[in-house]
């Protein structure tokens, strides 16, 4: 299946480097923009293979891997899951549709100023086609975006890393995303989770955690906008993350405890909707088990590629992860289901996780790169029961149609078609 790398190689004569980006003429940039637009106009995500566990860690990791912290989190996700959805920063920057993105309403201040800092609005004012954009700026962006993307080239070509351009999905689902944010702001529990982070601040945009633009000396926000000033941007990020995971056939794997708590609350809301409109009960167990794994840390991406291709213990881990998830999702529900699931998780992961740790101890390169840092695979469950089931096909189409768009996306990403029974494993890969 063609990837954005093929488009870039054709446009840049196979030279995907910062020096080549700096040498592009204005006409070269225009042609590149046209080629990328044509490619993404017909691009669809590759279908998942049988049993494949496709992870989407959210844009703070999947779009931000030019930075050391996000790159390390992405590298760990690439080691421990079958395939991982990442963002294509070049396709997004050159997308002519960016200007049509809309975010939630601006925050109003007492002095009459209105401030809009939602990610959609920021993205709409940037990019190659923005009115204020200049070719020189596009070249500067390409100078760091090309090496960033090329660092993952072997994994992209093999289908392990799946680069996406989020613009199309955000536009297709824009009205539903904005409606979801409005409902989120009326959820006092979700707002409380945003106000009281567990570890890291909530993500407010792909490139920021906790960053909220504020107007100094404006007399404060207009009464009624206080909650929006705090929670609107994190709610937008969460909703668009769920939309993207669903569109790509992936499971959202939150990278921090705060992210995980917000996601679980959103799943609980989906269950509440189901209980009101359908004869179905959705129970969410936020965390049943926690498995400690080595954290990649300072591992360089070329070394990651070699490990992914040659280190058998990590392949054994991924195989066991697929097996355990299939076993859990095929287990009949019962009074002791949670206890049974915990036992399966513990038994299924303990030996293989230990072998991964031993493999690292045997390798000088791995030991130097990973050290003693750990990352936790936190596993939980969503179990649906009731009359609105469709046998071996999981949740019925009627159940999906009976809830809001955001809830249906969240449910579809968990209760994938053709799985046995209506239960799903919720996984987060969180740095300690």
Q: What is the pLDDT of residues 256-287, one digit of tens each?
A: 999 999 999 999 999 898 888 777 778 888 99
Three-class DSSP labels, 324-359: HHHHHHCCCCCCCHHHHHHHHHHHHHHHHHHHHHHH
Cβ neighbours of 15 (radius 10 Å): 12
Q: Which of 43-47, 53-57, 137-141, 292-296 has the lowest mean pLDDT?
A: 292-296
Position 319 scores a pLDDT of: 93
Going by pLDDT thresholds of 50, 70 and 90, the confidence category of residue 390 is: very low
Mean pLDDT of the chain: 89
Pairing of strands 251-252, 54-56: parallel
Residue 81 CA to residue 102 CA, distance in Å, equals 33
Give the model confidence (pLDDT) of 290-344 as tens digits.
Answer: 999 988 776 677 778 778 877 788 899 999 999 999 888 887 777 788 888 899 9
Q: What b/e sequence results for 238-251 when a residue is b if at least 16 CB atoms lie within 10 Å of its CB, and e otherwise?
A: bbbbbbbbbbbbbb
* Count of domains observed in the chain: 1
Nearest CA to 293 among 314, 265, 276, 270? 314
Starting at the earlier edge strand, list the strands of the sheet with 83-87.
Answer: 161-164, 83-87, 54-56, 251-252
Phi, psi (rounded to 5 degrees) for 84: -135, 130
Cα of first residue to Cα of last residue in the chain, in angstroms, is: 37
**How far lies 79's CA from each of 148, 385, 397, in Å?**
18, 34, 34
Domain that holds residue 21: 4-431
What is the arithmetic mean of pLDDT over 184-198? 97
β partners of residue 384: 282
Q: What is the mean pLDDT of residues 398-402?
A: 76
Predicted structure pTM score: 0.94
Q: Is the pLDDT score of 74 beyond 70?
A: yes
pLDDT interval class at 1 (50, 70, 90): confident
101: left (phi over 0), alpha (psi -120 to 50) or beta: beta
Strand residue runs (E) in 88-188: 107-108, 114-115, 161-164
- Residue 421 pLDDT exceeds 60: no
Task: Name the strand (E) or helix (H) holding 417.
Answer: none
More confident residue, 211 or 171: 171
pLDDT in tens, 154-170: 999 999 999 999 999 99
Cβ neighbours of residue 237 closer than 8 Å, sequence gap 6 or more: 58, 59, 119, 202, 203, 204, 205, 206
Between 388 and 255, whose confidence is greater? 255
Task: Please state the rounded mean pLDDT for residues 213-221.
Answer: 70
Q: Tell me the average pLDDT across 395-406.
A: 80
Q: For the chain, give the percent of residues with pLDDT over 70.
A: 91
Distance CA 143, CA 120 (A): 24
Higher pLDDT, 378 or 401: 378
């Amino acid at each position: 299946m063609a990837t954005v790398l093929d488009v870039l190689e054709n446009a840049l004569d196979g030279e995907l480097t910062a020096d080549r980006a700096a040498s592009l003429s204005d006409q070269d940039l225009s042609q590149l923009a046209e080629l990328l637009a044509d490619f993404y106009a017909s691009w669809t995500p590759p279908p998942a293979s049988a049993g494949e566990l496709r992870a989407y860690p959210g844009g703070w990791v999947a779009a931000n891997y030019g930075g050391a912290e996000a790159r390390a989190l992405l590298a760990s996700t690439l080691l421990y899951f079958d395939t991982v959805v990442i963002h294509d920063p070049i396709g997004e920057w050159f997308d002519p549709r960016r200007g049509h993105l809309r975010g939630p309403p601006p925050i109003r201040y007492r002095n009459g100023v209105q401030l809009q800092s939602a990610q959609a609005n920021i993205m709409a004012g940037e990019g190659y086609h923005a009115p204020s954009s200049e070719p020189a700026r596009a070249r500067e962006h390409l100078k760091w975006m090309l090496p960033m993307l090329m660092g993952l080239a072997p994994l992209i070509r093999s289908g392990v890393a799946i680069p996406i351009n989020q613009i199309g999905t955000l536009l297709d689902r824009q009205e539903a995303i904005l409606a979801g944010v409005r409902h989120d702001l009326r959820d006092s529990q979700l707002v409380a989770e945003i106000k009281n982070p567990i570890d890291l601040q909530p993500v407010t945009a792909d490139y920021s955690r906790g960053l909220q633009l504020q107007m100094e000396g404006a007399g404060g926000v207009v009464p009624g906008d206080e909650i929006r000033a705090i929670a609107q941007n994190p709610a937008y990020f969460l909703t668009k993350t769920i939309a993207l995971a669903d569109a790509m056939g992936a499971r959202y794997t939150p990278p921090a405890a705060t992210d995980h708590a917000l996601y679980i609350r959103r799943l609980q809301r989906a269950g509440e909707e189901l209980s009101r409109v359908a004869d179905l009960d959705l129970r969410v167990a936020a965390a049943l088990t926690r498995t400690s794994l080595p954290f990649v840390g300072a591992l360089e991406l070329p070394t990651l590629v070699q490990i992914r291709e040659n280190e058998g213990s990590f392949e054994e881990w991924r195989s066991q992860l697929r097996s355990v998830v299939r076993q859990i999702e095929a287990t009949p529900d019962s009074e002791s289901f949670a206890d049974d699931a915990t036992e399966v998780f513990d038994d299924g992961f303990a030996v293989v996780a230990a072998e991964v740790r031993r493999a690292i101890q045997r390798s000088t390169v791995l030991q130097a790169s990973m050290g003693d840092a750990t990352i936790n695979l936190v596993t939980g469950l969503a179990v649906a029961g009731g009359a609105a089931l469709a046998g071996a096909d999981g949740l019925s189409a009627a159940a999906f149609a009976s809830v809001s768009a955001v809830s249906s996306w969240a449910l579809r990403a968990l209760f994938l078609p053709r799985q046995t029974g209506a239960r799903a494993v919720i996984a987060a890969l969180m740095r300690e």
